[in-house]
Structure 1
């Protein structure tokens, strides 16, 4: 129940009880101001936007760990979220005092030194935290909502796809122990971590399939760890006989390590981001490839081959391990023929079928 009464000193005392039954009160010089305040509280309760006046006192950085600890995240996701939160300029600001201007200033400052995609990724994590604060009723609204982000360059302007000759050069330049590494990235579209986690048991040489069940994360030997694939990335990929042969040859000539029989290693350790990066740079240099080419560039090569062969979006999505078809389209839509190309090709096929048909066939068609 809410009420408003005049006190002996002439001020008006407005009060109500919150969801926990605790009384909340404020004093006003005018009755109309007190009634407006009570009306706002009542409306916020009905719409589910009510926030305890004592909430939101913790700073953004202080509140984040308790919220993050409750999330069902892979270790890599938590590390990315931690990095995003550590980068904000408003970490010491109490949640209740956070304004859109705080987020805008941080985004603008970050845009001056980071790539648009990095800014967007960090913003998404911070926005996720703020939405969590809204759901926990620490703040009534998300101050990051509607914040304008730096424009990303279109995929067709930034994506580089190696030619067939360049991929062949990389295979030829690769040391014998890493030729299969180049092959699974170029002909199965594996990410670096997925390739590093590949085991003999993941390859069905009879059915010619390759199962992605894990990935290796970490920048160095000390931080190397096994994790589940990215969300939605577990998959079975149909591979060509030639790739199965390369993997079989790797087993017989190079061997594997550990009881799990991992394909790729350096010394006695699994590949990590730094060691694999060094190996690839040596291959790239020997093959005389552009410095912009990474192991991930070979994944683009694989995707472009599937698309040029006529594979639909869902097929490409499943082969690449994207969690949503929209991710595949956002990344590779420029590689698919557009509507004009398909219309032109369909009309050309129709014309050829008519113009190349024997005269008797045309007369028969006319009679029908």
Structure 2
């Protein structure tokens, strides 16, 4: 075997003939590092052509190191779906904890449905025009809330990709694209409508409606309450107070079942005192529908031991709200009722936030509605001026 020939000096770079008869080209790049051509060449002419192309790229400031070129090819081959999966695995809340199961479920739902058109697209290939057209098509379906949620997730994923230098610019530039105004407002029941609902619903769920309406508990908070969370105080044999310790909430995740965790926010951990006029119903419920152990669920499912599926509860909720003439009303409207009635007693905004477990004043304000007491309140203002 003959020895390799000496390197041949060129005006740029150098060449040498290998024992195999092929030619190897090398050069020193703008980074000061000597680089080899990615492959060898059959002829010296081909090797020199490669060196000329490198020299031209350097002159045009378009040269990239081989490592950067490899990274660019990897980025170009990275699909939106692949990066989104990586992104999900690195998400944590403000306390450094993994995302809640419900949040993760919602993100995966959005990725699988409204964001599906981007799934197999290269992450770096999606354009602003493409995003704008996609959003317009979703809005045309009338699903404005879902569109805003999906766009918000898309924007967050691309913001991370930009921060990690996987793309040079984000295609998500629609101002206000992640917010929406549906025009639909949750109207709480009137006192009379609530009375009809309480009278119409099966006795097993009467206390659940009252706890939601007068205590302001979320469905998941109420259905995770246990006997140990109900604190009854008596004086001389008479019940003087009933308070509920809200420390947990339950959600149902498709394919995973019920998951118990903390309430929606840190502010959700609270003690809620109930008004005296619901004492009798709550005590009757404890006696007739709740197990005797501290861990017994206050509002269990039909078997008396498992959590109450919301779909099971709605079989009784729908007829009751229909009897009240409020077929439009979700169960969550009872929480709006609680916020409005508590504020009407003179409670401050901070008081209402503490009772309902809100972490922001904006959220608390959404749960306060006009009560129809304008004349009464104006009359009070007049009396105060007269005094």
The interval holding the TM-score normalised by the smaller chain is 0.7 to 0.9
The offset of 1:335, in angstroms, is: 4.4
List aligned pairs for 1:1-368, cutoff 5 A: 7=12, 15-16=30-31, 27=54, 29=56, 33-34=60-61, 53-54=72-73, 56=75, 57-71=77-91, 72-87=98-113, 88=115, 89-149=117-177, 152-153=180-181, 158-206=185-233, 208-218=242-252, 223-232=257-266, 233-256=268-291, 260-268=295-303, 269-285=306-322, 287-329=323-365, 331-332=366-367, 335=370, 348=382, 351-353=385-387
Q: Which runs of 4+ in 1 moved over 6 A?
A: 219-222, 344-347
TM-score (norm 1): 0.74
The offset of 1:96, in angstroms, is: 1.4
Looking at structure 1, the residues matched to 293 and 85 of structure 2 have their Cα atoms a distance apart, in angstroms, of 36
Looking at structure 1, the residues matched to 359 and 54 of structure 2 have their Cα atoms a distance apart, in angstroms, of 54
Tell which structure's C-alpha radius of gyration is larger: 2
Looking at structure 2, the residues matched to 222 and 53 of structure 1 have their Cα atoms a distance apart, in angstroms, of 39
The offset of 1:136, in angstroms, is: 2.7
Is the contact between residue 205 and residue 244 of structure 1 (CA under 8 Å) also seen in structure 2?
Answer: no
Residue aligned with 1:216, SS? strand
Return closer, same or farther for 1:322/1:347 CA change in 2, 3 Å cut-off: closer
Is the contact between residue 198 and residue 264 of structure 1 (CA under 8 Å) also seen in structure 2?
Answer: yes
The offset of 1:223, in angstroms, is: 2.8
Looking at structure 1, the residues matched to 119 and 298 of structure 2 have their Cα atoms a distance apart, in angstroms, of 44
Is the contact between residue 336 and residue 368 of structure 2 (CA under 8 Å) also seen in structure 1?
Answer: no
Q: Which has the higher helix share?
A: 1
* Aligned equivalent of 1:363: none
The offset of 1:260, in angstroms, is: 1.5
Return closer, same or farther for 1:120/1:333 CA change in 2, 3 Å cut-off: farther
Residue aligned with 1:267, SS? coil
Return closer, same or farther for 1:28/1:102 CA change in 2, 3 Å cut-off: farther
Is the contact between residue 220 and residue 272 of structure 1 (CA under 8 Å) also seen in structure 2?
Answer: no
Deviation per CA, 1:230-249, whole angstroms, max 9, x where unpaired?
Answer: 23322222322333442222
Return closer, same or farther for 1:259/1:212 CA change in 2, 3 Å cut-off: closer
The offset of 1:211, in angstroms, is: 2.0
Structure 1: which 5+ runs fail to align?
1-5, 19-25, 39-51, 354-368
| Total equivalences in the alignment | 322
Structure 2: which 5+ runs fail to align?
1-10, 14-27, 34-52, 64-70, 92-97, 234-240
Return closer, same or farther for 1:347/1:284 CA change in 2, 3 Å cut-off: closer
* Aligned equivalent of 1:46: none
The offset of 1:17, in angstroms, is: 8.6
Looking at structure 1, the residues matched to 81 and 255 of structure 2 have their Cα atoms a distance apart, in angstroms, of 30
Looking at structure 1, the residues matched to 179 and 328 of structure 2 have their Cα atoms a distance apart, in angstroms, of 21
Deviation per CA, 1:159-205, whole angstroms, max 9, x where unpaired?
Answer: 21210000011111121111001111111111221111111122222
Return closer, same or farther for 1:180/1:134 CA change in 2, 3 Å cut-off: same
Looking at structure 1, the residues matched to 324 and 384 of structure 2 have their Cα atoms a distance apart, in angstroms, of 45
TM-score (norm 2): 0.71
Deviation per CA, 1:71-106, whole angstroms, max 9, x where unpaired?
Answer: 211111100011111221212111112222232222
Return closer, same or farther for 1:85/1:151 CA change in 2, 3 Å cut-off: closer
How well do the aligned residues superpose, as a CA RMSD in angstroms? Answer: 3.9
* Aligned equivalent of 1:356: none
Is the contact between residue 284 and residue 290 of structure 1 (CA under 8 Å) also seen in structure 2?
Answer: yes
